[in-house]
Amino acid sequence: MPQLINILKGDMSIVGNRPLPLYEAELLTSDEHIDRFMGPAGLTGLWQVEKRGEAGKLSAEERKQLDIQYAKSFSFGLDMKIILKTVTAFVQKENV
């Protein structure tokens, strides 16, 4: 619920990179991970839907790389694709 309020206020987007706690964000300020912060913060994102049904088999490094990939190429079309994948994830029967 708090994230929905942040979306209505304009502090977050529906699709984007998941916002991180400050202590975690401070660890990612190196040059190799700084691109992650170019994209908007969002409720759902690329790494949340990329490997749905595979019991979350994404390493921390893979999640960072998907966040960077999204930040470098986010667009309306990609956002719509992620939203559709998010909606279909609600009805899947596989373990997530």
Q: Which helix (H) or strand (E) holds 43?
A: strand 42-44
Beta bridge partners of 15: 44
Q: Provide the pLDDT confidence category of residue 81 given band limits of 50, 70 and 90.
A: very high
- What is the C-alpha separation between 33 and 43, in angstroms, rounded? 20
2-31: b or e for each residue (b if 16 or more CB lie within 10 Å)? Answer: ebeebeeeeebbbbbbbbeeeeeeeebeee
Model-wide pTM > 0.75? no
* Residues 15-51: tens digit of each pLDDT: 988 777 666 766 666 666 667 677 778 888 888 887 6
* Residues 55-66: tens digit of each pLDDT: 557 777 888 888
Domain boundaries defined on the chain: 2-92
DSSP 39: S
